[in-house]
Structure 1
Amino acid sequence: MTNLIPMSTVAESAWFKSSYSSGEGGQCVEVAAAAHTVCVRDSKVLGGPVLAVSRGAWAGFVGLAADRSA
């Protein structure tokens, strides 16, 4: 299940980008771990919507992305 959550529910210090992201302001997302979810946001729109997915869904997505990038 996915939902949009209020931005205020995630501390600003919790957000991070992948180490593969460049510092040149490219197309990046940021993620943050919350109580039972992983939150995702656009790094260029910090006050914009936040997508929350279950930890299991996030693990499946990352596993699929890792398999496809090899």
Structure 2
Amino acid sequence: MDISDLVWRKSTRSSGNGGACVEIAHLPQAIATRDSKSPDGPRILLARDEFAALVTTLKH
């Protein structure tokens, strides 16, 4: 799968925050993240377990 073919989504909780959103896209073995204000900018790929650990850390 080419990264340009990814389907990106924003959290429904991101509305009304002045555009400060992170988008994610699912890959078979990873989660891709990017800044919604810069869709052609850098992307970060995290293994699914790494992404889950990041979300858990951010929640605490």
TM-score (norm 1): 0.71
Structure 1 residue runs of 5 or longer lacking an equivalent are 1-7
How do 1:19-58 and structure 2 match up within 5 A?
A: 19-22=12-15, 25-58=18-51
TM-score (norm 2): 0.81
Q: Which protein, 1 or 2, shows the higher relative CO under an 8 Å CA cutoff with sep ≥ 6? A: 1
**Which structure has the larger Rg?**
1
For this pair of structures, how many residues does the alignment match?
Answer: 59
Is the CA contact 1:37–1:55 (under 8 Å) kept in the aligned structure 2? yes
Task: List 4+ stretches of structure 1 deviating above 2 A.
Answer: none
CA RMSD of aligned residues (A): 1.8
